[in-house]
Amino acid sequence: MRLLFVTLVCLAAAAEGRRASISNSELRRISSEMFEADNNNVYSHLDVNTGGRVPFGKSNTDYASAPLMEPFNATRYLSGPTYTALVNFYDNFERSTNRREVHTQEEHNEQVHFINMITSTAPIRKVKEFLSSKGYLPRSMNSFKRTMKALWFDFYGRSRGVLSSSGFEHVLMGEVKNGQVSGFHNWVYFYFLERKNEVNYLGYKKYLQLGRGDAMVIKFSFKWHNHLKPVTSMMIGTSPELEIALYTLCFYARPDQNCRVSLGGKDVVVKTHTYRSSGKSMIGSAYVDL
């Protein structure tokens, strides 16, 4: 009876445009379901070398003799639709937050294609259903796609008002601001740049295995060309759609707070930061934390 009452309250709130509260137990449940539904996880096909541990205050020193991820046989598993759609963006963005982004029709089409690809996957469908029932996202699939595209791809300015950044670029690809790497929380792009010898993995600070070898969360230091990232954190092996779904969930449920989720039976904290631009709340950053 209590479950029925709670369900009716959530549906009523969504129908009236109000947002129902999201409990910690609900966050753990839906995030666990999303993780289990990630059919495009490729962690079992990666050979991860954690290398040496980076001591406090030594982030600029190399404690790893090998790349974070060896090629092994993973590359052929990155040809799925969502991975291919992600890789299409790798020549689209200016790294510097001081340079205005030039947005072409081709890039717009790639963004639409990416949204179309991920919204057909189980993790995104689950987060849509959950957040829609709570009144945070529209129920219409077309409206949902437009909301997701705006949330992740609309440009805003991090430096002197220049429209040089977006949530997608910052989180999944990274930027350079004031001579240091900013953002960059996606393993697929890191894997791609390691193949091109454009990043140097310096060693880990912490890491956590998820499930029974289903994925990893790792906090580490690296250099992108000559630009240092003293500490970043990312999931390894998870699909683009799971990461987008997880960060979207926490952006709405726990903005600018610790968002406690369950991934592979492990408690993990996701942090999101809101960037407000032209009266809109945008994704400033989103990442897992240890």
Q: Which of 185, 205, 227, 271 is catalytic?
A: 185
Phi and psi (nearest 5°) for 271?
-115, 135
Q: Is pLDDT of 32 > 80?
A: yes
Q: Which range, of 3-7, 194-198, 209-213, averages the lowest pLDDT?
A: 3-7
Mean pLDDT of 246-268: 98
Label residue 6 by pLDDT band (50, 70, 90).
Answer: very low
Active site residue 185: yes
To 10 degrees, the CA torsion angle through 179, 180, 182, 186?
Answer: 130
Better-scored residue on pLDDT, 56 or 146: 146
Better-scored residue on pLDDT, 156 or 41: 41
Label residue 156 by pLDDT band (50, 70, 90).
Answer: confident
* pLDDT value of residue 94: 64
Label residue 159 by pLDDT band (50, 70, 90).
Answer: low
Active site residue 45: no
Q: Which range, of 69-78, 174-183, 203-212, averages the lowest pLDDT?
A: 69-78
Q: Which range, of 1-5, 53-57, 162-166, averages the lowest pLDDT?
A: 1-5
Q: Which of 126, 128, 134, 170 is catalytic?
A: 170
Q: What distance in Å separates the CA atoms of residue 212 and residue 86, rounded to the nearest whole number?
A: 27
* pLDDT value of residue 8: 39
Q: Is pLDDT of 160 > 80?
A: no
Structural domain boundaries, residue 243: 2-289
Phi and psi (nearest 5°) for 226?
-105, 10
Kindly report the pTM of this predicted structure.
0.90
Active site residue 273: no
Could you give the number of structural domains in the chain? 1
Strand, helix or coil for residue 200: strand
Give the total residue count for the chain.
Answer: 290
Q: Which of 134, 219, 229, 271 is catalytic?
A: 229
